[in-house]
A and B are shown apart, each in its own frame.
Chain A
Amino acid sequence: VEDYRQAAVVLTGDFNPAIFHPDWFQQHEILPEIEVTSAQSATDVMISHQVTIIRFLSLRLEVLGQRWTLSSERSDWFKDLGPITMSIFQKLPHTPVKTLSINFSEHRLVQKTPPEVMRHWLSDSKFGDAIGEKSKVGLVGRANWDGFETTVVCEHSLHLKGAMFLSQSYEKKLKTTRDIEATRWGDVLVRSNDLATELLGISR
């Protein structure tokens, strides 16, 4: 595993997974043709009334009855996940939606070592001593930021040696799909990059 980043837009509400078919995306011209044809020719697409999983060329869509997720591991798409979500639900305006969450996860090699990063934020960890030897203690924080409830996890990566794991979630309640349009996607992306820089001591 190398440096790894993923961004996702997660909606909770009531969804009909079967609607989301590559042909539906083609019909509404929501994604580039090359993305749709990739999904149409893939053998690992699953579409049913209970769950839909579509792997486009650069994006991944997973829909359950109560949860809808559009994600990408390609940073050149991060900025557009929100606007694409917006355009999808403009076609489905009566979908009952409850919450929107914009999530970022990364396993990242940084200039400082993970123990150095964690010591900076957590100078005295009696908790680590209490749980056992060679302990690695992480941080979970919840806060409010610009109308979002944020959850941030910062700890040693368990998958990439010498790397940090950072997860950020920006969540807000929705009344209707129109509230999705009011989301300032760009601001959240800038905020997530700034926070990663501050927490991990890295520059992008």
Chain B
Amino acid sequence: MIPVKVNSPEEIVRQRPKNLPMPRPADVVVPLGPREIKNLSVAFETKVGLGPSSTESIFRSWAENLNTVYRSSPVQAVEEHFDGTIEEVTEEGLRLSTVSSGGEEAEAWLPWTAFDEDPGEKKFVQVGAPIRITIFSDRTLVRVLRPAQWKIATEASDAVTDMLLNRMKQVLDQG
């Protein structure tokens, strides 16, 4: 059996050919994620250290060796999650249209107490905002996308507004 040699960060840097082109994202699909996601043996993993610069290679290898720094995020067990859109905001709560992680569409009612785990999210509640509800075994987390994460650009928004106004005028004219 041929022994597998794992290069040290210094060796990787020394062996790196000059003017090596920077890897394209597609060449190193999810290269920087936790170790488990790669479908490579240990010997191949060292090639990930061939980053865009010597300094970065050293930092990458260093970070990889520090379990405390490089470990993956703890994945909490999600029982179910819902993607929703806020349809109405009242004093008691929110009316939503939702799609479950299983693809089931529904109308739902969400009381304000659902925000107790992260009350800061209430600030972003507005009609039309996408909302995410994640159910764990011990708690429910609600988050709302920020306007910059879902509102269309101003020019596009103006075009949509103009189109809707024209449509309304046509309907009124017909009436």
The B81-133 residues at the A interface (CB cut-off 8 A) are 81, 83, 101, 117-118, 120-121, 123-124, 132
How long is the Cα–Cα vector from A115 to B77 in the complex, in angstroms? 30
User: Which of B8-16, B32-40, B162-170 faces chain A?
Assistant: B32-40
Task: Please tell me the size bucket of the interface on B.
Answer: 35 or more
Q: B interface vs A, CB < 8 Å?
A: 22, 24-27, 29-34, 36-37, 39-41, 51-53, 55-56, 59-60, 63, 68-73, 75-76, 78, 81, 83, 101, 117-118, 120-121, 123-124, 132, 134, 141, 143, 145-146, 148-150, 153
A51 at the interface (CB under 8 A from B): yes
A contact residues around B36 at 8 Å (CB): 1, 4, 107, 159
Chain A interface residue number, banded:
35 or more
Ranked 9 nearest A-B pairs via Cβ = A101-B25, A76-B81, A83-B149, A33-B120, A87-B148, A66-B52, A151-B26, A165-B39, A10-B25
Q: List 8 A-B contacts (CB under 8 A).
A: A29-B124, A34-B118, A34-B141, A67-B22, A74-B76, A83-B145, A167-B30, A171-B26
On chain A, the residues within 8 Å of B132 by CB distance are 76, 80
**Which A residues, 102 to 135, have Cβ-Cβ distances below 8 Å to chain B?**
103-105, 107
Q: Which residues of B contact A73 (CB under 8 A)?
A: 34, 72-73, 75
Would B68 and A43 count as touching, CB distance under 8 A? Answer: yes
